[in-house]
C-alpha cells in the first residue's frame, strides 16, 4: 500500500446561498481498508454541528 493512500482527503467546494439556505459541498475520500461509512458519517455529523454553532 502506498503511504498517500492512507491519508483521508477532504475537499471543500464553493459556498452558495439560496435565500436563507447556505450550502457548501464537501467531498470525503478515504481508503475503505482503513475507514468505513460509519466513520465518514460521524465526521459529517460533527462537522455540521460545528457549522451550526454560533
At 12-36, the pLDDT tens digits run 999 999 999 999 999 999 888 787 8
Is 29 a catalytic site residue? no
Adjacent-strand bridge partners of 23: 16
User: Domain locations in the chain?
Assistant: 3-52
What are 48's three cell numbers? 455540521
Residues in the chain: 54
What digits encode the pLDDT tens for the residues 34-46? Answer: 878 898 899 999 9
Kindly name the residue from 2, 29, 32, 39 that is annotated as catalytic. Answer: 32
Q: What is the pTM of this model?
A: 0.69
CA 37, distance to chain mean position in Å, is 12
What are 24's three cell numbers? 457548501
Amino acid at each position: 500500500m502506498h503511504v498517500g493512500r492512507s491519508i483521508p482527503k477532504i475537499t471543500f467546494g464553493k459556498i452558495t446561498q439560496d435565500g436563507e439556505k447556505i450550502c457548501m459541498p464537501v467531498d470525503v475520500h478515504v481508503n475503505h481498508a482503513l475507514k468505513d461509512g460509519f466513520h465518514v458519517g460521524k465526521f459529517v455529523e460533527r462537522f455540521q454541528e460545528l457549522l451550526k454553532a454560533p
